[in-house]
Every structure is written in C-alpha cells, then in structure tokens.
Amino acid sequence: MKKSILFLMLVSMVFVLSCNNRKKSSPQSASGYSGSFDSAYSVTGREILKEEYNALMLNAVDTFLLASHRNTDKYFFTLYGSKSQQKIMQLMPYGKGPGEFSSGYAYQYAQNEDGIWYVWILDYRRSLLYKVNISKSVEEGKTVVEKIIKTGSRDSFFADIDFNMVFFVDSNKLVGTTSNLSKKMKRFVVYNPIEDTVVKAVDPFPKVNYDFTKKDEGYGRLMYIYNPLFLADFDMKPDKSLFASAMDKFNRLDIFDINGNVVNSYVDDDNITENLINEYLASNLDNFRNVPIKYYYANMDVTDRFIFALYQNRLDSAYKTSIPVKVRVFNWKAEPVCTIDIPDYLQYISIDEDNGILYGTSYYDEKFLKYDIKNIMDKIGE
C-alpha cells in the first residue's frame, strides 16, 4: 500500500494480531485454474535513489517515481523520472500560504484519465482527499490540485469513521477501509461525500469476541489492541469493479465487489488461534507486544490482471529485524498465481507492469530497490 498512515503509526507504536478461520481456499478452483504459490521465482534487486535519505515510500506513476517524505518540514513529496532517476520537482510544499500545505498527507493511488496522470492524496488530519494532476504539475512546475473531497466529519482526534485507504469511484461514492483510530472499526466502507453519509459499512471479520464496555485504558485499548487485529492493506482494481483486502494479523486476502460483498477469499492454514487472540486481548498497553502474534501481509499493489501482496510472515514484535520476504501474486478470483522470493526486507512495493519492474521500499534499511520481473510477468501472463 503504496500507502499509508498505517506505517507512520507503526513506527511509533506496535500493532497487533491474526485469525482463527482454519479453512484454506483451494488453489484448484472449479474453473480448473491451477496456479500455485509453489510456482516460485527469485529476483535480486538493485539499489536506486541512493541520495534520497528522507523518503518513507516509493510509488510508480507512469514514467515517474513518487517518493513520500518522512521529514515534511519543506515538502511532502518528490517526483523523479523512473528511467533517469533524476529529481523532476517537489510536490506539496509545507506552509500556510497560497499553494502550500500544512497537514499530514498520505499517498493513496495513481489514476490515468485520457492520458493524464493523477495521484490521490489523503489529508488524514483534516479528512480531505486531494486529486493532484501530475502531468500539469510537471508542466507548470508547481503542485496543481484539481479536486478536494471531504472524507468525513471529525470533532476530535478520534472519529467514528477514520479512513486508512480511500478511493474515488464517482462524485457520490468513495470506497475505503478504516484506520485503527476509528471508534467504529470497519473492513469496508462506502461513503457519500456530498451527503456526508456512510452508505454501507462492513463490520470487522473474522469475528473476535471483545468487551466493548472495558474502559480501564480509555480509547487506548480499542485503538491499539482490538482495532489493529483488523488492519489490512486495501486496493482498487483500476476498472473500479473490485477491491482487494490483504490483512496484517489474519492470514487472509479477501475480494469485495463495489457494494462491499465478499466475492472471493484466500485463507491460509497458518493463522492465529483463538487462544492466542484471547491472550492478546487480555493484555494491557504495556505488554501486548509480548504476545507472539504474527504479521502476514504488509502491503499490496494491483493491476487489472493481478494482485501483488507483500507477505512478511513474521512475528509482530520483530518488525525491525531484517528478513527476506515474498510477494504473493493472485488473480482477481483470489487464486494463487505464483510467489516472488525477495532477499530484502521490504515494507512497501509498487508495480510498473508495462515495463516489468517491481519497486521496493526497505524502510528500516533506508533504501529503495528495483527488481526486474519482466520474465515473470511474461510467464504468468501467458
């Protein structure tokens, strides 16, 4: 994801858990599809943008690379050429004057409309979604915002619905998933920005028993122990017909239609047990990170054909320990296509399908990497 407020929060606090659903989706579907994660490919990355020390994550946007910054006291984003890797411009300068931006911003996704590239940026402090015209920004040498959309109401730091990822479908419909700062955690939300109304909200699943009357730690227990069980990276198929949700603490990937109905899922046998969930929920804010919960899907990027899900499969408490990772490739029926083995510890990925490139962000090792996956794409695209 590309993406997220989620990782910014992960650096300053620990997140939580996984699932008790034991049913595993079969790689052999009724349609006769026979893909498998046993089809594995190994790649070696090349470090890029070695002088970029201030970046949080990297995303491919057409012929550009958009870097999100850790330290945002000057600019929130920098745009590079993907081939030259030379800096083109900086976007969203920090400040309170005209053409300046003074909130907290998180990249959501890129979109092509009639040959013009846009990126959608979430102002997660003010609950606003910005549509930035990348093509015009490069042409004019300044940040060109074409649309600002309200993503909810907030009367305090905690909101009933606080978006973690949010996608523009049309002027009457946004679709997204909530952050752990939501008082009412949801797996899938349909929101009407014109009427400021939640049209549909899918409750968290798999179901976990939790005592919502427990207030000994205020919102802390809800926000940092229960809610993170259901955090997931979330992405929209470019044709806006389907949405993928790959969970952090439950070892599962779910496919939703545009109305929030689950149409397909892939659930692994390796998952969190009910006993472990109970142990975790019984802990307090000082020791919950000592419960041996695993962290599965860290991030995701999608194309019209495939879902690329970054699979860490590690103990949640070991988030700073460098380990090799995998990218699990699914189709849009949640069927496994193949696995890409990566020797580096990545927290984010971004896919340039046209050129067969996977970009990876190794946040803790402070580097960006570029992987040639063209041969893999040719094989799985046959």
CA 67/CA 367 separation, integer angstroms = 12
Mean pLDDT (the chain) is 88
Query: Side chain identity at 200, as an amino acid letter?
Result: K
Number of compact structural domains in the chain:
1
- Among 24-38, 52-66, 285-299, 324-338, name the one with the lowest average pLDDT: 24-38
User: β-pairing, 40-42 with 336-342?
Assistant: parallel
Of 154 and 283, the structure prediction assigns the larger pLDDT to: 283
Q: Is 105 helix (H, G, I), strand (E, B) or coil?
A: strand
Q: What is the pLDDT of residue 20?
A: 33
CA 112/CA 114 separation, integer angstroms = 6
CA 223/CA 231 separation, integer angstroms = 11
Query: Could you tell me the two tokens for 322?
Result: 């460098």
**pLDDT exceeds 50 at position 368:** yes
Query: Could you tell me the two tokens for 15?
Result: 């997140």
**pLDDT exceeds 90 at position 319:** no
Provide the percentage of residues in the chain whose pLDDT is more than 70: 88
- Among 100-104, 153-157, 167-171, 319-323, name the one with the lowest average pLDDT: 153-157
- 26 confidence band (pLDDT: 50, 70, 90): very low
Q: What is the pLDDT of residue 153?
A: 75
Q: What is the pLDDT of residue 312?
A: 96
CA 152/CA 191 separation, integer angstroms = 8
pLDDT digits (tens, 9 = 90+) for 82-122: 999 999 999 999 999 999 999 899 999 999 999 999 999 99
- What mean pLDDT comes out for the span 272-292? 89
Q: What is the pLDDT of residue 267?
A: 95
Q: What is the pLDDT of residue 2?
A: 44
Cis upstream peptide for 27 (omega within 30°) = no
Geometric angle at alpha carbon 83, from 79 and 85, rounded to 5°: 45
- Among 16-20, 329-333, 343-347, name the one with the lowest average pLDDT: 16-20
- What mean pLDDT comes out for the span 12-32? 35
CATH number, domain at 341? 2.120.10.30
- 14 confidence band (pLDDT: 50, 70, 90): very low
Q: What is the pLDDT of residue 22?
A: 31
**pLDDT exceeds 60 at position 260:** yes
CA 243/CA 234 separation, integer angstroms = 7
- 136 CB burial (10 A radius; 0-12, 13-18, 19+): middle
Residue-range definition of the domain harbouring residue 267: 5-380
With contact defined as beta carbons under 8 Å apart, do 78 and 90 qualify? yes
With contact defined as beta carbons under 8 Å apart, do 196 and 152 qualify? yes
The dihedral formed by the CA atoms of 278, 284, 289 and 295, expressed in degrees to the nearest 10: 40
Query: Could you tell me the two tokens for 242?
Result: 């389907």
CA 159/CA 182 separation, integer angstroms = 5
- 339 confidence band (pLDDT: 50, 70, 90): very high
Query: Could you tell me the two tokens for 313?
Result: 């499969």
Q: What is the pLDDT of residue 358?
A: 98
- What mean pLDDT comes out for the span 213-233? 82
**pLDDT exceeds 60 at position 245:** yes
CA 206/CA 252 separation, integer angstroms = 10
Tell me the CA end-to-end span of the chain in Å, nearest whole number: 27
